[in-house]
Structure 1
Amino acid sequence: MSVRIGRSLIGPGQPVYVIGEIGLNHNGDVEIAKRLIDVAAESGAQAVKFQKRTPEIATPEHMRDVERETPWGTMTYLEYRRRVEFGEAEYLEIASYAMRAGLDWFASPWDVPSVEFLERLDVVAHKVASASLTDLALLDALAATGKPIILSTGMSTIEEIDRAVDRLGTDRLVLMHATSSYPMPAEEANLRMVETLQRRFPGVPIGYSGHERGLQISLAAVALGAVAVERHITLDRAMWGSDQAASLEPQGFEHLVRDIRIIGDAMGDGVKRVFPGEEAPRAKLRRVLA
């Protein structure tokens, strides 16, 4: 089964749906967000994704007053969350820019008011962050939108994933295998979970959301059958922010998308045949004909 998000179908037999996860790597700057949208578009991705929070709701109580050193000076964690959050005017500008670049855009809402905020902007889909997989009130609000939902499964047990899928339904669902280590070491990738999720949820498109350094693990996920890939992108991994180190810089993201497309072309249909390029070597080298 395929799920349509914006301009693309996601599922077996379709081009891998590549999402450039901008998240908070824009550091509250719309111009940086636009440059990252350009990176995704020029690399050949189909979508960009952001994160949307209501800071007063989504910031854990015990973290609110913790002081943090930031590029804008020392501030509490709650003040920092407010500083990097885009409002409606910024998102309207981002939405228009992404649309002109030929990209879908959507976000991970971290609370119910953020779902309502994104719905007012008419996003094409919603993404559930791994951290929100057990937030049943949020899942109910997302299911009620009727929009396609991409669900990341990091930091979750299989029972928690089952419960979330039951809550969301499978009609417009894409599941993403993920491990929520930043950056993720290779020994925690557990890529065979792509196949496990395929067996457990037949008909649901299964993708991969990666937080590793480099390209190899994401490419291996595609070879195992992942039909969508999400990776954080940044202008420079040395920029300030907690996700920058697990992000791909522009050239790395371009190479990832290029290699995903090559793998897609190379997978074929599993039917053995003699290809046109084999005809001349066959005629020249095969001594005994069948």
Structure 2
Amino acid sequence: MTIADRKIGPTFSPYVIAEMSANHNGSLQTAFNIIEQAKKAGADALKIQTYRPDTITLNSSLPDFQIKDGLWAGHTLYELYEWAHTPWEWHASLFEYARKIGITIFSSPFDTTAVDLLEDLNAPAYKIASFEAIDLPLIRYVAGTGKPMIISTGMANAQEIEDAIEAARAGGCKELAILHCVSGYPAPAKDYNLRTLLDMQQRFGLVTGLSDHTLDNTTAIASIALGASIIEKHFTLDRNGGGPDDSFSLEPTELKQLCVGASTAWSALGQVDYSRKSSEIENVKFRRSLYFVKDLQIGETITADAVRSVRPGFGLSPKYLQEVIGKTATQPIFANTPVNNDVFK
């Protein structure tokens, strides 16, 4: 798939998405700073979330709407999303600033009105959040834009993932990716079962990546070796900022380390290749080879104590040791000289 002219897939360096989420903490200037720092860290894209509390939940304090445990315990859903949402009146400014400094920006819409807003801003792609992966009407509506779509699969079983893919295809989506995800905040690395990535690639045949909610970069970097083409991580300026998502987000130095590490890991994968590498050429001469360790006269038999396998590598390969022993010297041989075919018969 391609987002804003950047090709994404197994044959391209991993696409790193910095998720701002609620980490602006109600400050437009902080949001600008996050975009700028994501660019400096080397992220390919900055992602936001587009909802209002009334487009994602109901303003109710009944038990169904109470958060009783986890990071956000004590809030109602409405209170959480009022606290966490990115004001819609900011969106145009955020898109303008990201484009000005040269980083791709797109969003996760949570209802059709959000999609309409993002279309007005010419969003280059869409991300379906894990909690919305079962909202097939929303997926079909997003697919109708004709833009690339990324679906996060946290909490979804294989059938639900298949349903989401079918909805995207039915809606007209031509460029589709899925992200393996664990919707814990934070999520322990052991919950990720990264080998699932291999099955997802085989089962669904799509560009596949990782939405990583662990607290460091280890899981994300490891996923590259298993074929992840996209890495998404929450990003903040300060993990101790006190916002709803700050505590499980990367800081700028860590995001830079992720971008570099993901690219390095992908480069290291390369392809099946048993040839001698350019970095090895100068070291070939230091491999073992056969050397004479004593002087021999013309006509003497080369005995086992006259030859050793040592470094450097200017003589015959050690595999020829038994063939050399018992041969007759055809010229004077001096200790510490390489064994070559022209000195014996």
Match of 2:99 in 1: 99
Instruction: Report if the CA contact (8 A) 1:54-1:113 is conserved.
Output: no
Letter matched to residue 51 of structure 1? Q
Aligned to 1:48: 46
CA shift digits 1:118-147 (9 cap, x unpaired): 111110000000000001111111111111
- What does residue 329 of structure 2 align with? none
* Higher Cα Rg, which structure: 2
The structure showing larger relative contact order (alpha-carbon pairs under 8 Å, at least 6 residues apart) is: 1
Q: How is 1:188-267 mapped onto 2 (pairs within 5 angstroms)?
A: 188-202=191-205, 204-267=206-269
Is the contact made by 2:139 and 2:167 (CA closer than 8 Å) also made in structure 1?
Answer: yes
State, as a whole percentage, how many aligned pairs show the same letter: 33
Post-superposition Cα deviations, 1:153-179, rounded to whole Å, max 9, x if no partner, equal 001111100100011026310111101
Letter of the structure 2 residue corresponding to residue 167 of structure 1: A
- Tell me the CA shift for residue 59 of structure 1: 1.7
Q: Structure 1: which amino acid aligns with 2:45?
A: A
The question of 1:187 aligning with 2:187 is answered no
- Inter-partner Cα distance in structure 2 for 1:76 and 1:6: 38
Say if 2:17 is the partner of 1:19: yes
| 1:89 CA drift (Å) | 3.8
Match of 1:158 in 2: 158
Give, in whole Å, the separation in 1 of the partners of 2:78 and 2:269: 47
Report the AA paired with residue 262 of structure 2. Answer: I
CA distance in 1 between counterparts of 2:75 and 2:175 reads: 41
Change (3 A) 1:200 1:96: same
Counterpart contact for 1:106–1:125, Cα < 8 Å? yes
Name the CA distance, whole Å, in 1 between partners of 2:97 and 2:61: 34
More displaced stretch, 41-50 vs 78-87: 78-87
Matched residue type, 2:50:
K
Counterpart residue identity of residue 214, structure 1? D
* CA distance, structure 1, for counterparts of residue 23 and residue 254 of structure 2: 16
- The aligned residue for residue 324 of structure 2 is none
Deviation at 1:40, TM superposition (A): 0.9
Cα deviation, residue 199, structure 1: 0.4
1:158 is matched by which residue type in structure 2?
Answer: A
List gaps (5 residues or longer) in structure 1.
68-73
Q: Does 1:277 align with 2:284?
A: no
The aligned amino acid for 1:49 is K
Q: How does 1:100-139 map to 2 (within 5 A)?
A: 100-139=100-139
CA 1:29/1:63 → structure 2, altered by over 3 Å: closer, same or farther?
farther
Query: Does the aligned pair in 1 maintain the 2:146–2:174 contact within 8 Å?
Result: no
- Cα distance in 1 for partners of 2:254, 2:61 equals 34
User: 1:55-74 counterparts in 2 under 5 A?
Assistant: 55-60=53-58, 62=60
For the residue of structure 1 that corresponds to 2:150, the secondary structure is: strand
Instruction: Tell me the TM-score normalised to structure 2 length.
Output: 0.76
Equivalence for 2:328 = none
